[in-house]
Amino acid sequence: MEKARLESYLAARLGEPLVIASLAQAFPGLSRETWLVRIRGPGGSAGGERGLVVRVDAPGGPFVPVPLEFEWRVYERLRRTAVPVARPLWFDAAPEVSEGRALFVRELVEGSTLLTGLAEATPAAARRRRAVAFEHAEKLAQVHRVDWHALGFDEFMPNPGSARDAPRRELEHWSTIWYELRGRAFPVVTEALHWFEAHVPPAAPCVCLCKGQNGVGEEIWRDDKIVALCDWELAHLGDPCHDLALSQGMLKLWDREEIIAHYEAQAGFALPHANLSYYIVWNAFMSLLVLHNGLKPFLNRQNLRLPRATLGFGKVKVYEHLLGTILDMDLEEAADYILEGQPNPYHSRKVAGG
């Protein structure tokens, strides 16, 4: 993004003269571009700086087949709750500064997506891993307790109608999207969708606002506490087990059953084990769908970033293989197989306490 144009754009939207003190793109920013901006008044000191985040659709569109405005609307409603999120400022559907690509702006929350030293082989690091895993579970429980109906989330999210219908409605929703966006036949994925249909949970414990994409690298941390939950593009109304199962390594930070028990105490309801297993496997399908969708802008030359091709071809084949392998397994075997292959950047067998 061109600094001078962005400077003029932000000054016009904020209604005040300003200069951009620094501008950096968050890495890797493959699905959507995330720009970290520090601004100050002209001639002002560094102490008067404030931070903004500009979230922009990538050329050709995102990996996740969800409009950017959807994520903006999640932020706008969550800001009325106690859930920690950055304050959203505005959404712009087609501004010139981003060459017509949608963007939204939110305040920058100081912190980091990474927690250094968490994998050290020391008792202190082991205690931190437990505390971090419990902190994440607490924040998910807080999201799941949100009164989504009172806040109007069902005005722009599909409402599954009941806890009994929630798991099947999600399967039907994403199966339909898959058949609409796939570029060619994927017979293994078709078989896998029949496997999911045969194993879909009979009911969710309740219908909650789910984050959809959470865990390692997705939240802003400060002093081992989550100060902002980010990346809401896969948020939906559904089974809370979905979020625990797709927490990107958090269930491996400490004893899994302890983490789940801590979550249940915070949330006020129990999580069926079979539902957790189902969504662990479901993650393989969702990952394949998203990465395959992200390949399309590369093929039509709208976005020639090489990682788009690497993920869209190579990683999709990995997930296709995983789905093909689980077809003859029962639910628990499949979940264990998927979990075994999931890396955890904060854990090794040599680490104390786990």
How does pLDDT run across 136-145, given as a tens digit for each residue?
A: 999 999 999 9
pLDDT given for residue 343 in this prediction = 66
Please give the average per-residue pLDDT across 116-120, as a whole number: 89
In whole angstroms, give the CA distance from residue 31 to residue 87. 22
Whether residue 349 is predicted with pLDDT greater than 80 in this model: the reply is no
pLDDT given for residue 74 in this prediction = 98
The more confident residue out of 62 and 237 is 237
The residue type found at 56 is V
Q: Which of 88-97, 115-124, 331-340 has the highest mean pLDDT?
A: 88-97
pLDDT given for residue 354 in this prediction = 33
- pLDDT class for 235, splitting at 50, 70, 90? very high
Please give the helix or strand (H or E) that residue 257 lies within, else none.
helix 256-267
With b for 16 or more beta-carbon neighbours within 10 A and e for fewer, the 190-204 pattern comes to eebbebbeebbbebb
Whether residue 212 is predicted with pLDDT greater than 50 in this model: the reply is yes
pLDDT given for residue 198 in this prediction = 98
pLDDT given for residue 44 in this prediction = 59
At residue 246, the 3 state secondary structure works out as coil
pLDDT given for residue 47 in this prediction = 56
Please give the average per-residue pLDDT across 23-43, as a whole number: 87
Whether residue 45 is predicted with pLDDT greater than 80 in this model: the reply is no
The neighbour count for residue 134, using CB atoms within 10 Å, is 18
The residue type found at 150 is A
Cis check: omega of the bond before 201, within 30 degrees of 0: no
Q: What is the dihedral of CA 132, 136, 142, 145, to 10 degrees?
A: -140
Integer angstrom CA distances of residue 101 from 54, 72, 91, 301: 12, 14, 11, 16
pLDDT > 90 fraction of the chain, expressed in percent and rounded: 78
pLDDT given for residue 290 in this prediction = 94
Please give the average per-residue pLDDT across 227-254, as a whole number: 92
Whether residue 66 is predicted with pLDDT greater than 80 in this model: the reply is yes
pLDDT given for residue 351 in this prediction = 36
Taking each helix axis from N to C terminus, what angle separates 187-199 and 166-181, rounded to the nearest 10 degrees?
170
Whether residue 347 is predicted with pLDDT greater than 60 in this model: the reply is no
pLDDT given for residue 31 in this prediction = 81
Whether residue 218 is predicted with pLDDT greater than 90 in this model: the reply is no
pLDDT given for residue 89 in this prediction = 98
- pLDDT class for 353, splitting at 50, 70, 90? very low
Mean pLDDT of the chain: 92
In whole angstroms, give the CA distance from residue 98 to residue 144. 34
Give the domains, in start order, of the chain with CATH numbers.
Answer: 3-107 (3.30.200.20), 123-340 (3.90.1200.10)
